[in-house]
Chain A
């Protein structure tokens, strides 16, 4: 069975500094990996995904993530954080080529960007 670990419940970063939100996963075969963001009282919004190809994936709002197969990680990054990036971030995984197997999500990491 697949699983996702987000080791940090909370990440604090100063505005303008780079940010990293960590994610590691466990899945059989090749993974499909996702990051979603949740703003207060809103549903989850898709940020980016890795399916195949280039290990560095670029997504919405200047975010990017790097797939590292040997470390089974898919950390979310942004070179310069904005206060508006403050939100709850979820990493998710499912086995590749598995039809519509439901995504398995991590517990989420709350990002707080301080002005």
Chain B
């Protein structure tokens, strides 16, 4: 597609429920990143995928968070047993791949945990 597409744009859920957030990167981009934007906290790196390599999961805050990328394209970020502190905007970005430093961001998925 022309840009990075994220869905849903807004998600309200109850504490303890699982949620899935989707990211569709720019066609041909092999690198995909997830960041979390919390109020007053800036952007926090979560996870990074590059092609078929093992993902860099070093930023995931707990084992309730996981992500996968199927077929080297679409990625899903899953948060299990959501907590109120998970409320944030989850941003996805993609780039051409190794050696490319230019990221294109999606509009984000705003998650509210009640």
Residues of A within 8 A of B (CB): 6, 9, 32, 36, 41-46, 49, 51, 90, 92, 94, 99-100, 102-108
Contact = CB atoms under 8 A, between A and B. Distances in A.
Of A6, A32, A42, most buried by chain B (CB within 10 Å of CB) is A42
A51 B50 CA distance: 22
B31 A100 contact: yes
Contact of A103 (B99, B100, B103, B108): B103
A104 B56 CA distance: 14
Given A43-B106, A102-B33, A107-B40, 12 more contacts: A43-B91, A43-B105, A46-B103, A46-B104, A49-B101, A90-B42, A99-B98, A100-B101, A102-B48, A106-B42, A107-B41, A108-B43
B82 interface: no
Nearest to A41: B107
B42 A105 contact: yes
B4 interface: yes
Contacts of A46: 102-104
B97 interface: yes
A102 B101 CA distance: 9
Contact of A102 (B42, B45, B102, B106): B45
A105 B56 CA distance: 17
B101 A107 contact: no
A13 to B, nearest CB: 21
A107 B41 CA distance: 5
B97 A100 contact: yes
